[in-house]
Amino acid sequence: MRRSSRLTRSDDIKSVRQEGHSFAHPSIVLGVLPNQLEKNRIAIVAGRSVGGAVQRNFAKRRIRSAFQGLQTKLHQGYDLVLIARKPILDIHYQLLLETLSSLLERAGLMKDEVN
């Protein structure tokens, strides 16, 4: 994930959390807020409730990896905040992919695929 497509300022993350819409799952929470750009920006957050530093970094790596495969299927122009919850450490990667995909679809961010 390129640096230019990351949300790095805590004010930006806070505004997505407060002003945007949230979509929750037991292992991930997705916050979405439209931005005025032609690209999506993303932040991946894992709080101390997930575990120690090793577990938090593992959770963020898993989310980042799962999200990269879905990036091309998303509408552009949104700020996204993905928040890891403790169950993310124990679920299978395929279930993580399905969960993330369903959250993005519920948020209306997935492009309609035409075959």
List the structure tokens of 81. 């905040």
The CA distance from 35 to 58, in Å, is: 28
Cα 37 → chain centroid: 18
Which domains does the chain show, CATH number per domain?
3-104 (3.30.230.10)
Burial class (CB in 10 A: 0-12, 13-18, 19+), 26: exposed
CB atoms within 10 A of CB 95: 12
pLDDT in tens, the chain (115 residues): 666 678 878 888 898 888 989 999 999 999 999 998 888 999 999 999 999 999 999 999 999 999 998 888 999 999 999 999 999 999 999 999 999 999 999 999 988 764 4
Write the CA distances from 6 to 37, 51, 78, 81, 93, integer angstroms.
13, 23, 11, 10, 23
The CA distance from 70 to 74, in Å, is: 7
Q: What pLDDT, on a 0 to 100 scale, did the predictor assign at position 67?
A: 92
Percent composition of the chain: helix, strand, coil (DSSP 3-state, to 5): 45, 25, 30
